[in-house]
Homo-oligomer: A and B are copies of this chain.
């Protein structure tokens, strides 16, 4: 796959940004921060109308049949505006895992509803501090799932999950409807991510994949989740950088714009570099989904995008001085989102380790 965008892709990027800019409302986003279980319903409605939920669902299931590149472009725009709708990446991981399995009935039951925006899915892989435990403690016995899975974005509103669990002493991916599942809501510093732990107590579970096939599918889904999230982080980082640049051009101190001071000017240039490296890694990874080194490339995208967003958000606040730490300016939305996106898929340390393991595999 080429790493240059084609015209259709350019159009998706421009059009999705236009829709989001239209709907953007800072006050609404600020209001979401403190309320556990809240999200931006109005914007989500637009997303469904725009067909973003159908984007990466195969055409035979009512989707548009597009891929990771297109999804990444939307994610980048969502990230830029710190939107309060956390369903894009979770839906996609759910879809991918159903596609990886061989349960056609499950696909027919869920994929059209996901595409139409009538249902929300998540992938529940992590437990405790690990985003992908080698031997998951959640266990399926006789088709019943028990155990708890770490907080996942969107979990508080999700209708179904694909869960990384143990079955017959082997790892497995199982499909669970969440109607009766207890969700332990997380009161978070970024509540519109709808974080909740999922606590299963004998929930009916359909096994999609088992053993090594399950592990491979889960790792690939995690990597794809990482790439979509990295695109979101890159978009956030770029936007924080631009906000800092614009402020530095406008704000004066000692008779000149603060952008004229190299401590500000060079810092913004460094952030630009981090953002462009993240973007380049995202583009590279998105184009290599079917290659053997996809997980490796996803790790690179994840690491550089986390660093870019983290640095951009932190420095944008610092460059703003006092005004940057006020509630009402809302720059802290980027600071919060940078942190939540960094933590929700596991720490950078996890991704560093995974990258090196992949690299060792490749060069051994």
Contact = CB atoms under 8 A, between A and B. Distances in A.
A266 interface: yes
Contacts of A262: 261-263, 266
A266 to B, nearest CB: 5
Contacts of A261: 262
**Chain A, interface residues (CB within 8 Å), range:** under 10
Nearest to A266: B263
Interface in A195-219: none
Interface string A244-261: 000000000000000001
Copies assembled: 2
A312 to B, nearest CB: 19
A347 to B, nearest CB: 19
Contacts of A263: 262-263, 266
Closest 3 interchain pairs by CB?
Answer: A262-B262, A262-B263, A263-B266
A49 B71 CA distance: 76
Nearest to A262: B262
A98 to B, nearest CB: 45
A266 B264 CA distance: 11
Interface in A254-287: 261-263, 266
Nearest to A263: B262
A262 B261 CA distance: 7
A49 to B, nearest CB: 49
Interface string A113-138: 00000000000000000000000000
A254 to B, nearest CB: 12
Contacts of A266: 262-263
A263 B263 CA distance: 6
A107 B262 CA distance: 59
Nearest to A264: B262
Nearest to A260: B262
5 contacts: A261-B262, A262-B262, A262-B263, A262-B266, A263-B266
A263 to B, nearest CB: 4
A301 B261 CA distance: 34
Nearest to A261: B262
A86 B266 CA distance: 41
A261 B261 CA distance: 8
A262 B262 CA distance: 5
**Which one of A261, A262, A266 has the greatest number of beta carbons of chain B within 10 Å?**
A262
A263 B260 CA distance: 12
A243 to B, nearest CB: 21
A263 B268 CA distance: 13
A266 B261 CA distance: 11
A261 B262 CA distance: 7
A213 to B, nearest CB: 39
A15 to B, nearest CB: 40
A266 B263 CA distance: 8
A272 to B, nearest CB: 15
A266 B265 CA distance: 13
A262 B259 CA distance: 12
A261 B266 CA distance: 11
Interface string A81-106: 00000000000000000000000000
